[in-house]
Structure formats: C-alpha cells, structure tokens
Chain A
C-alpha cells in the first residue's frame, strides 16, 4: 500500500521537477547559459497567478495564463537585460563569460526575489488549483490536482518534443545546440534562435511555476532551493541533454519521496545530494552528458 502511495505521490513531484529542469537544460544546450534566476522566474509566475486570482479577482484559468505570461516577459527581460549584454560585451574575456553570466543571472534572480518579497511579502502563497477534490486509486486517496499536475507536465513535455523534432523552428534550435557555427553558415540568425529558446524556456518555467504554486505553494524563500534543485537535476542528467534531465528528475523525485515516507521528511533532500556527489565522482559528465 505504501509502495503504491509512494509511486503516485512521487510521480507528480517528479513530473514537476522534469518540467522545471527541461527549460533550464534547453537554454544551456543551445546557448551555453546556466540561468541562475530560474527559481525566481518560476516563483514570479506562481505569485503572478496568485495575485491575478486574489488581488485582481480574475478566474482560475485567466490567472494561470497571466502567470505564464509574466514568466515569459521575465524570461525575455533576463535575456535582453542581463545575458545578451554580457555575451556581446567586448570588455569581458571569452573564457570568463560563463562566470559573468552566472553572477549576473544570480544577481538578477535576487532582484526579482526581493521585489516579490517587497510587494507581496514573504508569506507562502498557494494558487487555487484548477481541479479540486480527491479520487480513490486502489484505496489511496489522491488529490485530483496531483493527477492533473502530472498530466499537464507530460503533455507539455510531449508538445516540446514534437516542437523540437517535427517543426522547422524546432529543428533550427536542435541544430544550434549541436553546432552554432554550422547554423550561422546555413544562413540562420543565431540571435533569433536564442529568442525562440528563451521564449520556450519562459513558457515552460511559467507552467512549472504555476503548477508548483497549486501543488505545494511558493514563497520568495523558494527561489534558492528551486534553482538549486533544477541545477542539480540538470547536472545529474548531463548538461544540455533533455532526456538525461527527464530521467534525473524522476530519480531525484522518487528518491526524495521514498526518503520522506520511509525515513523522515527532515532528511528529504540528503540522499539526492549524496547521489549527486557520487555521480560527479564516477561519471563527471552526468548520466547522459555529451562531454
């Protein structure tokens, strides 16, 4: 019985982790950027959805859309205000751009976090779930929202797969992640591909953020842990590998759920961290990493 419960609970949280990490890894794969404002963008989406419902009194669906829209805007702002100026800067040596992007996005994330805390306080906010109530699965009472979360995550990841593998734009994105110079030689504008990727990333992070807001609730304190968990999932799976991130998300999600049920919720994150250190030692490029 406990096994089934872990299976059901772990699936929803893993799917949510997967969705959050996919956008993060996509950006790294295409433009080599590790976006440390990731958690802030997710929280911004969730808080926007919450504010739309409780301050502006919009209905749940409009609120959720509003949240995703805000994430999209913040994502573009991150690219144009922070990442692009650093990438184009002539004063920063190329080999140090990585650390500058890390520092820049980190500071940007802190700014978003502080603004959220200033305008909406530090209190945890729970977005009203789109579906309510519980269902009975073989004797386990499961909130419908869990199932809804898992379904939406799988659907969005499926759509992303179709977009990347079946459309012209998606193929350009895929090509850019394999060989940016080759793509420019074929006459495609790299900047435009970056804009598309940051757009996709914004939507993914937005959906993940709003779902997280419905599932667990968020506060401005969630920013750091959310970034850290996305970062570790992505490194565990191998930087830039979307399928690796998906596997890693499920490994981490289930490991956390099992620990929380079998040992104690206080130790929830420890086994995943140990696993990460272990993988770093024996396979530094991650599960499906290319390097």
Chain B
C-alpha cells in the first residue's frame, strides 16, 4: 500500500485527474456531457470488477444493482418530492439491500448457475418496472422533477470527483488485506476457508460495497439525466457494456475498468457518423482485445512495466 504512493501508476492517475479537472475551462459542453456519463459508467465498471476480478463472482446483472439505486432515488423524488441528496442516499441504501439479496444465491451456487441467477434478477426488475408502470413510468421512463445542477461544468466536476473518490476507495480496498482474502476466496474457496478466513463475511462485504457504489452512481446518473428508463439503467445491454468495459480495461485492476468505460462511451460517440455500424465496430474491437490482449489495456501496460 505504502509503495503505491510512490509508484508510477499513482503519479499517472494523479496527472490524469488533474488534467481532467481543468477540462471545463476550455472544452465544449457537449464533450463535458459525454465525459460526465462516461465517469458514472466508470464507477459501474469498477464496482463490477471488485465482484468479478476479486471475489470471482460472474455477475451478469450489474444493472440489477444500478437500476435498483437509480429507480429508488427517482421514484422517491418523483412521488414525495424529497430533497435530491436524501433520495440519492436512500437509492444507494436500497441498492445495498439488493446487493444482499443477490449475495444469497452466490453463497450457494457457482459459475454459470450464479451468472444465470443474476441475469434473472435483471429480467425480474425489468418486468417489475413495466408491470408497475404507475409508479415507475413503465417503458416510457420516469420523469424526475429535480436535478442537482444544470451547469454542465459543475455536473462534470461532481462526476469526476465522485469517480476519483470511488476509484481511490475501491482500489485501496482491492490492494488491502481484505482484497487479498477476497481474491483467495474467489480462486479457491476451500483452501481460503481452511486458512481460517471467513469467506461468507468477505464475499458479503464485497457484494455490499459493489452494490453501494453501483447504486450511488446510478442515482447520481438519474439526477443528471433528469429521467430514469429501462434502456439507460436496467436493460441487459447496459449490463453487457459494463462487463465489456471491465474486461477491456483489464479485469482485476479496478482502475482499468474505469478506463475501459470511458473508452467505450467516447468511442461509441466518435463512431456515431457510421450510424448503425457503431455498435458493431465497438463489439469487434472489444472481441479482438479479448482474443489477443486478454489482460486488457491496463493489464497489458502493467505486465510490461513489471517485466522491465
């Protein structure tokens, strides 16, 4: 941990954040808006990486956690008009409860079986949103009366600050003894248990931390968009993007996941002129990375540094 503060990675990340913080002074609102979404997405991907990369749980339903947080915050604001910050906090707490629910099967079933359970959780949430359309706005989406601020620069700084703090906490956690125990219990639960570590407790903690950050980010995103809809925070396709981001950036690196998410969103926007082919190109690039650089962007960079 101590040598992290003197490592090259630390200075590079610090420099990136410092440069990113000055962006609102000279780039257009359009680019700021794009990056704001990308930063929230980065938190989704980092939270997912904590579960998959460290706890070894193949979670196909990151949007179950994201969507629960986002919709709880949105509905409370829409129905009761509570203050934005209370709604965001309650959204994150609801997501923690969702994370707890998701963790229960994870302690019983493994691999593809757990993956399917999480996928089903997303489909159930999606059905819930559609069936209780009076409450949730259904397929059209939920309108949210309040926003945090309408200033593009302020929104950008909030997103950047939020991502930096989340990254620091999640990365710190992953490098701490807790992260090592998690990694051990993900790779060989029996042996980790035999060494005297309480696997259930550690995995539960991983789910709760991952859920907290997913839900918080989802709630913030909803108040940035001013609307919550299945297509933006619940759909399986959104979850696929989160997973692809984490794998692209480099699993088990936490910071790489954020990098992958920013790349994915920005690349998708740059390819917009190609119309319908944009998703095809992004998927093809992602597939090539998976096939030829399985460590992802950051994984490849880190292993090169380790060699030299």
Are A110 and B123 in touch, CB under 8 angstroms? no
Q: Could you give, for residues 79-123 of chain A, a 1 whenever the CB lies within 8 Å of some chain B CB and a 0 otherwise?
A: 000100110010110010011101110111011001101100000
Q: Quick check: is B14 within 8 A (CB to CB) of the other chain?
A: no
Q: Quick check: is A235 within 8 A (CB to CB) of the other chain?
A: yes
Residue pairs across A and B with CB atoms within 8 Å: the count is 105
Q: How far is the CB of A259 from chain B (nearest CB, A)?
A: 12
Are A108 and B287 in touch, CB under 8 angstroms? yes
Q: Quick check: is B116 within 8 A (CB to CB) of the other chain?
A: yes
Are B283 and A111 in touch, CB under 8 angstroms? yes
Least CB separation from B285: chain A residue = A107
Are A232 and B120 in touch, CB under 8 angstroms? yes
In angstroms, Cα B126 to Cα A269, docked, is 11
User: In the complex, which residues of chain A have a beta carbon less than 8 angstroms from the beta carbon of B130?
Assistant: 266
Are B116 and A111 in touch, CB under 8 angstroms? no
Are A277 and B117 in touch, CB under 8 angstroms? yes
Determine chain B's interface SS by DSSP, over half rule: helix
Q: Quick check: is B108 within 8 A (CB to CB) of the other chain?
A: yes
Are B240 and A106 in touch, CB under 8 angstroms? yes
**Chain A 244-291 interface residues, beta-carbon cutoff 8 Å to B:** 266-267, 269-270, 273, 276-277, 280-281, 284-286
In angstroms, Cα B244 to Cα A82, docked, is 16
Assuming the contacts A106-B240, A110-B283, A232-B120, asked whether A281 and B108 have C-beta atoms less than 8 A apart, the reply is yes
User: In the complex, which residues of chain A have a beta carbon less than 8 angstroms from the beta carbon of B123?
Assistant: 228, 269, 273
In angstroms, Cα B123 to Cα A103, docked, is 19
Query: Size range of the interface on A?
Result: 35 or more
Q: Could you give, for residues 58-80 of chain A, a 1 whenever the CB lies within 8 Å of some chain B CB and a 0 otherwise?
A: 00000000000000000000000
In angstroms, Cα B290 to Cα A27, docked, is 21
Q: Quick check: is A12 within 8 A (CB to CB) of the other chain?
A: no
Q: Quick check: is A197 within 8 A (CB to CB) of the other chain?
A: no
Query: Size range of the interface on B?
Result: 35 or more
In angstroms, Cα B283 to Cα A259, docked, is 36
Q: Quick check: is B129 within 8 A (CB to CB) of the other chain?
A: no
Q: Quick check: is B115 within 8 A (CB to CB) of the other chain?
A: yes
Assuming the contacts A86-B291, A91-B295, asked whether A280 and B116 have C-beta atoms less than 8 A apart, the reply is yes
Q: How far is the CB of B241 from chain A (nearest CB, A)?
A: 10
Q: Quick check: is B124 within 8 A (CB to CB) of the other chain?
A: yes
User: In the complex, which residues of chain A have a beta carbon less than 8 angstroms from the beta carbon of B226?
Assistant: none
Q: How far is the CB of A174 from chain B (nearest CB, A)?
A: 22
Assuming the contacts A82-B291, A100-B290, A114-B283, asked whether A270 and B112 have C-beta atoms less than 8 A apart, the reply is no
**Chain B 62-119 interface residues, beta-carbon cutoff 8 Å to A:** 105, 108-109, 111-113, 115-117, 119
Q: How far is the CB of B281 from chain A (nearest CB, A)?
A: 9
In angstroms, Cα B105 to Cα A103, docked, is 22
In angstroms, Cα B247 to Cα A239, docked, is 25
Q: Quick check: is A231 within 8 A (CB to CB) of the other chain?
A: yes
In angstroms, Cα B112 to Cα A65, docked, is 33
Selected contact of B109 from candidates A92, A106, A231, A284, CB within 8 Å: A284
In angstroms, Cα B127 to Cα A208, docked, is 26
User: In the complex, which residues of chain A have a beta carbon less than 8 angstroms from the beta carbon of B116?
Assistant: 231-232, 235, 276, 280
In angstroms, Cα B290 to Cα A280, docked, is 30
List 21 A-B pairs, Cβ < 8 Å: A86-B291, A103-B243, A107-B244, A110-B283, A111-B280, A111-B284, A114-B280, A115-B280, A117-B276, A228-B123, A231-B119, A232-B116, A235-B112, A267-B131, A270-B127, A277-B124, A280-B108, A280-B109, A280-B113, A280-B116, A284-B108
What 3 pairs across the A-B complex have the smallest Cβ distances?
A114-B280, A284-B109, A107-B287
Residues in chain A within 8 A of chain B (CB atoms): 34, 82, 85-86, 89, 91-92, 95, 98-100, 102-104, 106-108, 110-111, 114-115, 117-118, 224, 228, 231-232, 235, 239, 266-267, 269-270, 273, 276-277, 280-281, 284-286
